Protein backbone atom coordinates (compact mmCIF):
# COMPACT_ATOMS: atom_id res chain seq x y z
CA UNK A 1 0.00 0.00 0.00
CA UNK A 2 1.26 3.43 -0.91
CA UNK A 3 0.83 6.66 0.98
CA UNK A 4 -2.72 7.94 1.08
CA UNK A 5 -3.40 11.22 -0.62
CA UNK A 6 -5.71 13.83 0.78
CA UNK A 7 -8.03 15.79 -1.48
CA UNK A 8 -7.33 19.21 0.02
CA UNK A 9 -9.83 20.94 -2.25
CA UNK A 10 -12.65 18.79 -0.89
CA UNK A 11 -11.50 19.24 2.71
CA UNK A 12 -11.20 23.02 2.48
CA UNK A 13 -14.49 23.41 0.61
CA UNK A 14 -16.42 21.43 3.24
CA UNK A 15 -14.87 23.53 6.02
CA UNK A 16 -15.83 26.75 4.23
CA UNK A 17 -19.39 25.50 3.67
CA UNK A 18 -19.72 24.62 7.37
CA UNK A 19 -18.23 27.96 8.44
CA UNK A 20 -20.62 29.94 6.24
CA UNK A 21 -23.54 27.70 7.22
CA UNK A 22 -23.09 28.46 10.90
CA UNK A 23 -23.43 32.19 10.25
CA UNK A 24 -26.46 31.66 8.02
CA UNK A 25 -28.21 29.66 10.74
CA UNK A 26 -27.28 32.22 13.42
CA UNK A 27 -28.53 35.03 11.19
CA UNK A 28 -31.87 33.29 10.69
CA UNK A 29 -32.20 32.71 14.44
CA UNK A 30 -31.46 36.37 15.16
CA UNK A 31 -34.03 37.50 12.61
CA UNK A 32 -36.72 35.22 14.05
CA UNK A 33 -35.97 36.37 17.61
CA UNK A 34 -36.16 40.04 16.61
CA UNK A 35 -39.48 39.52 14.84
CA UNK A 36 -41.03 37.63 17.76
CA UNK A 37 -39.65 40.20 20.22
CA UNK A 38 -41.35 42.99 18.31
CA UNK A 39 -44.59 41.01 18.18
CA UNK A 40 -44.55 40.41 21.93
CA UNK A 41 -43.66 44.03 22.66
CA UNK A 42 -46.55 45.17 20.45
CA UNK A 43 -48.98 42.81 22.16
CA UNK A 44 -47.76 43.88 25.59
CA UNK A 45 -48.13 47.57 24.74
CA UNK A 46 -51.56 46.95 23.25
CA UNK A 47 -52.69 45.04 26.31
CA UNK A 48 -51.51 47.72 28.73
CA UNK A 49 -50.82 45.36 31.61
CA UNK A 50 -47.82 47.20 32.99
CA UNK A 51 -48.38 48.06 36.64
CA UNK A 52 -48.28 51.78 37.28
CA UNK A 53 -48.52 51.61 41.08
CA UNK A 54 -45.37 52.70 42.87
CA UNK A 55 -44.39 52.30 46.50
CA UNK A 56 -45.10 54.96 49.06
CA UNK A 57 -42.19 56.41 51.03
CA UNK A 58 -43.16 54.39 54.09
CA UNK A 59 -43.29 51.13 52.12
CA UNK A 60 -39.95 51.85 50.47
CA UNK A 61 -38.39 52.62 53.87
CA UNK A 62 -39.77 49.37 55.31
CA UNK A 63 -38.34 47.34 52.42
CA UNK A 64 -34.97 49.08 52.72
CA UNK A 65 -34.83 48.45 56.48
CA UNK A 66 -35.74 44.78 56.02
CA UNK A 67 -33.02 44.34 53.40
CA UNK A 68 -30.49 46.13 55.61
CA UNK A 69 -31.32 43.98 58.65
CA UNK A 70 -31.23 40.80 56.57
CA UNK A 71 -27.80 41.70 55.21
CA UNK A 72 -26.55 42.68 58.69
CA UNK A 73 -27.49 39.30 60.24
CA UNK A 74 -25.48 37.32 57.65
Domain range for residue 69?
8-73
Length of the chain counted residue by residue: 74
Q: What is the 3-state secondary structure (H, E, C) of 61-74?
A: HHHHHHHHHHHHHC
Hey, how many other C-beta atoms are within 10 angstroms of the C-beta on 25? 10
Q: pTM score, two decimals?
A: 0.52
Inside any domain, residue 29: yes
**pLDDT tens for residues 9-68?**
999 999 999 999 999 999 999 999 999 999 999 988 888 665 557 888 999 999 999 999
Inside any domain, residue 33: yes
Total domains, the chain: 1
Inside any domain, residue 68: yes
Inside any domain, residue 21: yes
Inside any domain, residue 47: yes
Inside any domain, residue 3: no
Amino acid sequence: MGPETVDWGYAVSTLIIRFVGIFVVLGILQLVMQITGRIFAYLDAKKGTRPSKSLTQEEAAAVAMALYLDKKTD
